[in-house]
Structure 1
Amino acid sequence: MFSMKHTSKLALPVLSLCSALLFTSCDSKEDNPTPDADSSFVVSLAIQGSDGGFTYYTVPFRDVMSGSLSAKGKGIEQPGYFDFTQIDNTIYSIGGLDDVNVVGISKTETGELKQVGNVSFPNSLSDIVKADDSKLVALEMASTSDMVKFHTINSGTVSVSSTKQHRVSDITNLSAPSYSGMTISGNHLYLSYYISDPNTFATPHTDKAQIAVYSYPGLEFQKVIEDNRTGPIGGFNTKSGLIKDERGDVYALSHSNPANGYSQTTNKGGILRIKSGETIFDQSYFFDVEQVTGGKNIAHLKYLGNGKALAEVNSADNSQQARWSDGPLRTAIIDLNSKTVTYINGLPEHAGNGRRLAAVQDGKYVYMAIPEGDGIFVYRIDTETNTATKGAEVEANFVAGISKL
């Protein structure tokens, strides 16, 4: 659906460039010095093989603002399709397509990356989120299944401690709900979704937002809440439909972008809120994104703190977007309280990867990889001055994850 730099979600397994074994390291000390305790950045680089499949190399780096970042070095190698998310001091590698395992990646005291656990599921997980200091909740929601499954995972061992499942009919009488976001706040788990035909990927139901509410830690289904001020929450493979602030308030992003999988748009894009502890949409709050941006919509969202979030704004109106293009994008800081959008100076307009946003926050800075011309470069975004500085060039087809351990 996407061009070479943006086709990762459809990639098939491929033999790695260094070996055909899973979780080996490609050692070339001449290109990347042996990592040490100061190698705090970890970048997951996706490289396409001659057969069209991808291999992911997760590699530690001391510096991402100069020189080039190569897959050669001390790291973890994974042929197939993988999604990366960092929770506390562990990166979770979520396998897709034929690889339905989950592996934790953490760092030793000497800067080497190590594998933590390895657990498989009947279907690829949609996502993993933090529940508390020692527990994660993983979601299994496949278009081929009539069940929604929640797996409670021990974060230290990456092992499943319990599973709770519910029928899809609890949340919709339509087939094939597609995952778009999940978060836990207080005694509730919130799950956002939209309806997509599993064969054509058409989205004929776009007139309202829907979020399923479950209890936590019991994970019992409670109800579905709806709001017709905007359309469905989130989009294909972006996984950022729901974010949570320090107070426990949950914000739900809607856009119905064709660039992120929607075949139609019938309601304006915007952001809704669920106040901490509540199981209803806050009718006093609506962030009219289209009004603020002149008809544009936010495609990706990453919460930063103090009511602010990093946003990737599609600079084309929905009617002008190429479906599945995940672009063109402009990076901005949004303020959820004042309902403002401030674009970042020094960043080129770019396309996304059609998947979870690869970006990491480090104090006032956010590091993310941006395609530019024929290359990909890391940019450091100063969230106080709303400016960006160009850094290292990335030797890969795309960046699947940036973390800091």
Structure 2
Amino acid sequence: MKLKATLAALLAAATLVSCNDDKAAAPNNPGNYILTVTPVAATAVADYLLTAGSLEAGTISTQGNGVEQDGTYRYYVTHNNKFFSMLYGQGNPGAVTAYNLKEGKLNRLTNFQTETVQSFAPVKDDLLLFKITRNATTTPLSQWYKVNTNNLLITADGSTNTLSLARNGELAHFSWLKQVGDKVFAPYFTIKNTSFNTNYPDSAWIAVFNYADMRVEKVIRDGRTSFIGRYFRDGLSVVENGDVYAFSASVATNNPGSGSVISSTKPSAITRIKAGTTEFDQSYYLNFEALSGGMNITNWLYVGNNTFVVQATTPAEKGAYADGLNVGILNVVDQTFAPVTGLPAKADIKSITYNNYTPKDGKTGYLGVNLKDGSSYVYKVDASTRTATRGLKVEGGTITAVQYLAGE
């Protein structure tokens, strides 16, 4: 069986020590916050994992500190009080390394290989991983894996026919995954080739999976927006009362000549699925472009109490893979939006992290802000006052994620 073979490979890989050892000693600045940092270098280098005791003050550095990751492209998620570092192998198998914290220092629990995956999310006690096909001629099947975060083993795997799922001759490509009750919502866009172009730019789809057996129960569609989220960007959020909100960046592309051009005609907007239902709520629609003066959402961080820290682009900055440098506060129930003050001038910002931390207290979010002069800081955003305050300085690299573990 495929699952047995996968488990055998996982166990064999987990026993490897010398070739998979982390390349640096434990960091000298213990704490419960984990920052992933790409060191300054002339060529692509692997991220370092740094810990910190506070995000609001102090300085940490990659010099002589941190745990170096194997491989250049890494993505991160925390679940069940563990931190998972996942290698994007660009078509090759990718390593998954799991850590916990002991006395404020990272402790590696396992390191194993899976297929490179394009979407993943915490679901119950698992991480659900999806390797999504991009070539219907070769195979229409996208592979999924369940990694149990208690025993750190792959406990189930299978496949979903994403050509049949789309039902329009293109392949369904999940932008992300989200646990909603005992189901998994998988918003997707459809692609006609590996460049992610589509003939169907003005629809939002969600595949609803029964998580127990990963059977697709239904597909729901909304024609008021383009697809939900973006490539590798989570566009779904579940709020305290169980309602699900979805943002569309409106960045679908087509290729009539040379180069991809935005083909979505719908505005960047927010829709809702009410708690306990599996249909879009037709009574709710928030036109974000109209509310924000023409901007489109590229990413959001739910801080609680129906409130999001939003990253957005202006019409001139809009692109399929553009991450917004405009930060604002959005309340999806009050339908209000206002910019955040206190951040550096946009002309001075090189990038803002999209993988960020919030204690979900209804007001607080922490963003990594990397400046063009080479300096990097964590900024604390207070949604109640719509202000940002500069905090922890990170020397020697570019912040790529800000996370937190309770530790042991």
Q: Same fold (TM over 0.5)?
A: yes
Give the equivalent residue in structure 1 for 2:393: 393
Query: What is the Cα deviation at residue 190 of structure 1?
Result: 0.8
| Matches of 2:40 and 2:191, distance apart in 1 | 28
Alignment of 1:281-320 (within 5 A): 281-314=280-313, 316-317=314-315, 320=316
User: Residues 299 and 323 of structure 2 are in contact (CA less than 8 Å); yes or no, is this contact kept in structure 1?
Assistant: no
| Matches of 2:296 and 2:40, distance apart in 1 | 31
Q: Deviation string for 1:374-393 (max 9, x for gaps)? A: 13221111222221111233
> Which SS does the other structure have where 1:171 is aligned?
helix
Q: Closer, same or farther in 2 for the Cα pair 1:209/1:147, shift >3 Å?
A: same
Q: Does 1:137 align with 2:128?
A: yes
Q: Closer, same or farther in 2 for the Cα pair 1:23/1:143, shift >3 Å?
A: farther
User: Residues 74 and 112 of structure 1 are in contact (CA less than 8 Å); yes or no, is this contact kept in structure 2?
Assistant: no
Q: Deviation string for 1:145-198 (max 9, x for gaps)? A: 521333222112321111132211232133343331211112321101112454
User: Residues 59 and 76 of structure 1 are in contact (CA less than 8 Å); yes or no, is this contact kept in structure 2?
Assistant: no
> Which SS does the other structure have where 1:69 is aligned?
strand
2:52 to 55, 61, 68: 61
Give the equivalent residue in structure 1 for 2:182: 187
Give the equivalent residue in structure 2 for 1:370: 369
Q: Closer, same or farther in 2 for the Cα pair 1:186/1:21, shift >3 Å?
A: same
Give the equivalent residue in structure 1 for 2:272: 273
2:175 is aligned with what amino acid? Answer: S
Give the equivalent residue in structure 1 for 2:380: 380
Q: Closer, same or farther in 2 for the Cα pair 1:292/1:119, shift >3 Å?
A: same
1:151 is aligned with what amino acid? Answer: Y
Q: Does 1:47 align with 2:47?
A: no
Give the equivalent residue in structure 1 for 2:220: 225
Q: Does 1:92 align with 2:87?
A: no
> Which SS does the other structure have where 2:46 is aligned?
strand
Give the equivalent residue in structure 2 for 1:333: 329
2:338 is aligned with what amino acid? Answer: T
Alignment of 1:180-219 (within 5 A): 180-219=175-214
Query: What is the Cα deviation at residue 56 of structure 1?
Result: 0.9
- Of stretches 191-200 and 263-272 in structure 1, the one that deviates more from structure 2 is 191-200
2:390 is aligned with what amino acid? Answer: K
| Matches of 1:267 and 1:371, distance apart in 2 | 32
RMSD over equivalenced CA pairs, Å: 2.6
| Matches of 1:351 and 1:252, distance apart in 2 | 27
Q: Closer, same or farther in 2 for the Cα pair 1:246/1:119, shift >3 Å?
A: farther
Q: Does 1:154 align with 2:148?
A: yes
Give the equivalent residue in structure 2 for 1:402: 402
Give the equivalent residue in structure 1 for 2:339: 343
TM-score (norm 1): 0.83
User: Residues 46 and 398 of structure 1 are in contact (CA less than 8 Å); yes or no, is this contact kept in structure 2?
Assistant: yes
Query: What is the Cα deviation at residue 75 of structure 1?
Result: 2.7
User: Residues 186 and 276 of structure 1 are in contact (CA less than 8 Å); yes or no, is this contact kept in structure 2?
Assistant: no
User: Residues 134 and 194 of structure 2 are in contact (CA less than 8 Å); yes or no, is this contact kept in structure 1?
Assistant: no
| Matches of 2:142 and 2:80, distance apart in 1 | 26
Q: Does 1:169 align with 2:168?
A: no
> Which SS does the other structure have where 1:360 is aligned?
coil
1:157 is aligned with what amino acid? Answer: N
**Number of aligned positions between the proteins:** 369
| Matches of 2:50 and 2:306, distance apart in 1 | 32
| Matches of 1:64 and 1:42, distance apart in 2 | 10
User: Residues 377 and 391 of structure 1 are in contact (CA less than 8 Å); yes or no, is this contact kept in structure 2?
Assistant: yes
Where does the alignment leave 5 or more consecutive residues of structure 1 unmatched?
1-19
Q: Deviation string for 1:113-156 (max 9, x for gaps)? A: 0222333223x122332222x33322221324521333222112
Give the equivalent residue in structure 1 for 2:4: none
| Matches of 1:190 and 1:366, distance apart in 2 | 25
Q: Deviation string for 1:79-116 (max 9, x for gaps)? A: 321111222422221211245122222111x2220222
| Matches of 1:262 and 1:337, distance apart in 2 | 33
User: Residues 203 and 262 of structure 1 are in contact (CA less than 8 Å); yes or no, is this contact kept in structure 2?
Assistant: no
TM-score (norm 2): 0.82
Q: Deviation string for 1:9-53 (max 9, x for gaps)? A: xxxxxxxxxxx964424349xxx6x344xx111111113644x32
1:359 to 356, 360, 363: 356
- Of stretches 268-277 and 357-366 in structure 1, the one that deviates more from structure 2 is 357-366
Q: Does 1:111 align with 2:104?
A: yes
Query: What is the Cα deviation at residue 306 of structure 1?
Result: 1.6
Give the equivalent residue in structure 1 for 2:24: 26
Q: Deviation string for 1:265-318 (max 9, x for gaps)? A: 22111111112221211111111111111221111012221211221121x12x
Q: Closer, same or farther in 2 for the Cα pair 1:366/1:143, shift >3 Å?
A: same
> Which SS does the other structure have where 1:230 is aligned?
coil
**Share of identical aligned residues, percent?**
22
> Which SS does the other structure have where 1:92 is aligned?
strand
| Matches of 1:288 and 1:324, distance apart in 2 | 19
